[in-house]
């Protein structure tokens, strides 16, 4: 124990000596070594006596201050160089930003656009108007004709009907604006015959390179057309006679209870299996027979394929159909292009009759294909889906200075579907003629199953002579007190005994005398 106590002071003295040596070395070393040995010196100072370490600590701090101040004094020129370099870099960066902004301005069509970016936005697509293709001497032109269908950014000539097909012809918007083309125009022109060396590089659709005629007119005459919306509509005043043969009672009874005029907007309201297709065929054949100057169009939407074939073989007119196995977009496309074609003919002063079967199915198709508006009516009908069928049906009108568009559309009722009821109620008050068929009469096999008391035409006196109007009103008064079946059977029995409606009315006037006061009323 005594030896250990004697050795302890010796160890403390050695530690103090080593601390002093390390402090002197740190003071005489360079800046980097002083900074690295500083922790060692501090550790030595803690172990050495306080009175011996104060001078070393003061000298080391002074030398550290001198060594730290020297680089600060030496770095002033370097700091100026760094500042000038930073300013140069900022100047070059701002120049690059300005050049980038100018390029963006050129690409976006700004005021300072120039160079190769001038027409880039036009070449990319979008809302640009493509120029008409140029015809060279080596090109072989092939004639083509079709119905123009104008879409959002392009147009097509439908060469195989009213639906898109593989042989359609592409039409640029520049040509549409240049020749004042409208949707539904019958365009005759030419396309460039593809060359054999093109091979797989051939485009999917051939482009129209020349326009020869528009609806049978020259380009100058077609440019002077009046738009359909600017034509003045009037009440129908020219009658379309449907009576052809004395044995065809359906058309004869329609002439009596619901006469049809040029420009009529009529609804044929029918439940299923009531004979509406037969009535529609009879009306179409009667119009084509008695009024050959009228352009007849039969539009079948969501119809059975066999019904389409039957209509094409029995009707002497233009049959436009979209069967029920096709998507809803095809139904709407056919209907829109057909009504636009009818409008173009009316603009030229023609009389057009469109028979639609049916407007209820057309409303269903628009309800499926139209984007949802968020406002749903009863039956699951979107409120925006009813506007396109109304626009179709509302196009019927009698034009003031010639031309008319007559639309007769069938509407389904008593189907058990709430949607069909909503669609019918929306169109119920829009027409000016209504022919209602009865399911009860059809079940009893009484054809044509016409509900006489529920059928009629607004302003029918404008379609008939005053004498004929008086006799028809007498018949109406007499039939109003009878039941549905009795009234129809009475009229059918009288029609079978006469050869024409004129003979029927003359006999009716003699057998049903009415006081003069009621006639005046």
Binding residues for ATP: 261-266, 273-278, 304
Give which of 227, 158, 229 is closest to 187, Cα–Cα.
158
Secondary structure of residue 494 in the 3-state scheme: helix
Instruction: Measure Cα distances from 251 to 127, 240, 256, 317, 492 in Å.
Output: 51, 11, 9, 18, 12
DSSP 319-369: EEEEETTS-HHHHHHHHHHHHHHHHHHHHTT-EEEEEEE-HHHHHHHHHHH
Question: Per-residue b/e over 377-399, b at no fewer than 16 CB within 10 Å?
Answer: beeebbeebbebbeebbebbbbb
Q: How far apart are CA 125 and CA 74, in angstroms?
A: 63
Give which of 264, 284, 268 is closest to 276, Cα–Cα.
268
Instruction: Measure Cα distances from 134 to 138, 141, 208 in Å.
Output: 11, 12, 10
| Residue 514 near residue 474 (C-beta atoms within 8 A) | yes
The DSSP code for 225 is P
Q: How far apart are CA 455 and CA 424, in angstroms?
A: 16
- How many residues would you count in the chain? 521
| Residue 383 near residue 376 (C-beta atoms within 8 A) | yes
Return the residue matching tokens 């109620």.
425
Measured from the Cβ of residue 183, the count of other Cβ atoms closer than 10 Å reads: 18
Sign for the pseudo-dihedral over CA of 449, 452, 454, 455: positive
Secondary structure of residue 285 in the 3-state scheme: helix
Number of helices and strands (H, E) in the chain? 19, 14
Feature table: binding site? 261-266, 273-278, 304
Q: How far apart are CA 278 and CA 274, in angstroms?
A: 9
Q: How far apart are CA 318 and CA 312, in angstroms?
A: 8
Cβ partners under 8 Å of residue 470, min gap 6: 519
3-class SS shares of the chain: helix, strand, coil, % to 5: 50, 15, 30
């Amino acid at each position: 124990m005594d030896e250990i106590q004697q050795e302890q002071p010796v160890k403390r003295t050695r530690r103090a000596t080593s601390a002093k040596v390390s402090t002197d070395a740190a003071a005489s070393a360079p800046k980097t070594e002083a900074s690295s040995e500083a922790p060692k010196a501090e550790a030595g100072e803690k172990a050495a006596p306080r009175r011996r370490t104060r001078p070393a600590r003061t000298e080391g701090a002074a030398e550290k201050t001198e060594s730290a101040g020297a680089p600060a004094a030496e770095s002033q020129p370097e700091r100026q160089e760094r500042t000038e370099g930073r300013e140069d870099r900022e100047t070059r960066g701002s120049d690059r930003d300005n050049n980038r902004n100018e390029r963006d301005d050129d690409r976006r069509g700004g005021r300072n656009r120039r160079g190769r970016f001038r027409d880039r936005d036009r070449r990319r697509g979008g809302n640009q108007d493509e120029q008409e293709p140029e015809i060279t001497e080596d090109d072989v032109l092939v004639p083509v004709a079709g119905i123009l269908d104008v879409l959002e950014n392009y147009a097509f000539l439908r060469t195989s009907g009213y639906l898109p097909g593989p042989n359609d012809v592409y039409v640029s918007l520049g040509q549409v604006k240049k020749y004042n083309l409208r949707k539904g125009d019958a365009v005759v022109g030419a396309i460039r015959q593809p060359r054999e060396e093109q091979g797989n590089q051939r485009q999917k659709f051939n482009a129209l390179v020349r326009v020869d005629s528009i609806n049978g007119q020259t380009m100058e005459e077609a440019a002077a057309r009046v738009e359909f919306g600017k034509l003045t509509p009037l009440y129908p005043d020219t009658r379309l006679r449907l009576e052809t043969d004395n044995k065809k009672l359906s058309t004869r009874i329609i002439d009596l209870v619901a006469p049809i005029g040029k420009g009529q907007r009529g609804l044929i309201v029918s439940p299923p299996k009531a004979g509406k297709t037969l009535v529609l065929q009879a009306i179409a054949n009667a119009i084509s027979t008695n009024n050959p100057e009228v352009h007849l169009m039969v539009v079948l939407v969501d119809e059975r394929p066999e019904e389409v074939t039957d209509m094409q073989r029995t009707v002497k007119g233009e049959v436009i159909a979209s069967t029920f196995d096709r998507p809803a977009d095809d139904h709407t496309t056919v209907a829109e292009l057909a009504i636009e074609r009818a409008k173009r003919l009316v603009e030229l002063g023609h009389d057009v009759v469109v028979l639609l079967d049916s407007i209820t199915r057309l409303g269903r198709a628009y309800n499926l294909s139209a984007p949802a508006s968020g406002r749903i009516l009863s039956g699951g009908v979107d409120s925006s889906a009813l506007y396109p069928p109304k626009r179709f049906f509302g196009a019927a009108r009698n034009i003031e200075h010639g031309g008319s568009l007559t639309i007769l559309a069938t509407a389904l009722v008593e189907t058990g579907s709430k949607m069909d009821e909503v669609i019918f109620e929306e169109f119920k008050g829009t027409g000016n003629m209504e022919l209602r068929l009865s399911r009860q009469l059809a079940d009893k096999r009484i054809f044509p199953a016409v509900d006489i008391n529920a059928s009629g035409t607004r302003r029918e006196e404008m379609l008939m002579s005053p004498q004929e109007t008086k006799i028809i009103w007498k018949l109406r008064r007499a039939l109003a007190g009878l039941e549905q079946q009795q009234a129809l059977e009475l009229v059918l029995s009288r029609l079978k005994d006469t050869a024409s409606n004129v003979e029927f009315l003359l006999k009716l006037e003699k057998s049903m005398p009415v006081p003069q006061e009621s006639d005046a009323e």
